[in-house]
């Protein structure tokens, strides 16, 4: 029975070792590019949301004032 438990533990450890991913350090240029991408994406999403809110507000105002 102990041999079976030892074999199961060895198989589980091997599967776990194969399934884990290695985390390597990024070069400085890549890390800076990722940070710049995050900032640019956040700005773009903010502009899109702001434009959507402005369009909604103008349409709502137009409906209330009888323009549309």
User: What tens digit of pLDDT does each residue of 4-27 get?
Assistant: 778 788 777 776 766 666 677 888
pLDDT value at position 54? 98
**Cα-based angle 50, 53, 58 (whole degrees, multiple of 5):** 125
Tokens of 47: 């502009």
Yes or no: say if 59 and 68 are a contact pair by the CB < 8 Å rule. Answer: yes
Average pLDDT over residues 26-31: 87
- Pairwise CA distance, residues 60 & 62, whole Å: 5
């Amino acid at each position: 029975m102990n041999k079976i438990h030892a074999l199961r533990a060895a198989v589980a450890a091997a599967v776990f070792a194969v399934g884990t991913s290695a985390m390597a350090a990024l070069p400085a240029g890549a890390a800076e590019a990722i940070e710049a991408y995050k900032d640019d994406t956040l700005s773009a999403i903010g502009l899109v949301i702001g434009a959507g809110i402005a369009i909604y507000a103008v349409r709502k105002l137009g409906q209330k004032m009888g323009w549309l």
